[in-house]
Amino acid sequence: MNDTVKAVNAARFIDALAHARALGMSLEQIGDGRAEISMPYDPRLIGDPATGVIHGGAVSALMDTCGGAAVMSHPDGTQATATIDLRIDYMRAATPGQAIRARAHCYHVTRNVAFVRAEALDDDTENPVAAATGAFTFERREGTQR
């Protein structure tokens, strides 16, 4: 399956997820085991009304979705995945009023598991909002090596 088809399928995957649509997620880049998804600032997602900071659950959903998209774009994989495990380390609050962007890289695959690293960023790209490592289900396309 070529990269264009994978990108179209990943965009459909994100559009098919009700939570991704509700959070306003948008696929920015995808290919070769990497993905970038953005989520606009939305007052409905504020976790702390006193500060205007977006709820950590919305950031988690963004990073999880981006990790899955990265796995789906891996050259050896099929177009299905599910999260097995996701560890997220929150480093700081996202700046109120700014969009949040997640970048994920599927850096290693076995026969059944894909391993992903991801980060969430706002406009201050030198200081991530959060970092994540995860494991996702993985199914190799026929004819690829193990």
pLDDT band for position 65 (50/70/90)? very high
Q: Is residue 145 a part of any domain in this protein?
A: no
Total of domains in the chain = 1
Least confident of 39-48, 58-67, 75-84: 75-84
Q: Is residue 113 a part of any domain in this protein?
A: yes
pLDDT tens by residue, 35-60: 999 999 999 999 999 999 999 999 99
Q: Is residue 143 a part of any domain in this protein?
A: no
Q: Is residue 79 a part of any domain in this protein?
A: yes
How confident is the model at residue 130, as a pLDDT? 98
Q: Is residue 97 a part of any domain in this protein?
A: yes
How far is the C-alpha of 3 from the C-alpha of 117, rounded, in Å?
Answer: 21
Least confident of 69-78, 96-105, 107-116: 69-78
Across residues 77-102, what is the average pLDDT?
A: 95
Measured CA distances, 86 to 41, 44, 58 (Å): 23, 25, 14
How confident is the model at residue 26, as a pLDDT? 94
pLDDT tens by residue, 109-140: 999 999 999 999 999 999 999 999 999 999 98
- 112: containing domain: 3-137
Q: Is residue 146 a part of any domain in this protein?
A: no
Across residues 94-108, what is the average pLDDT?
A: 98
Q: Is residue 142 a part of any domain in this protein?
A: no
How confident is the model at residue 66, as a pLDDT? 97
Higher local confidence (pLDDT), 112 or 77: 112
Contact (CB, 8 A) for 53 and 97: no
- Strand-pairing partners, residue 126, are none
64 pLDDT more than 90: yes
Q: Is residue 47 a part of any domain in this protein?
A: yes
Measured CA distances, 102 to 2, 30, 39, 91, 144 (Å): 24, 12, 8, 14, 28
Tell me, what CATH number does 75's domain have?
Answer: 3.10.129.10
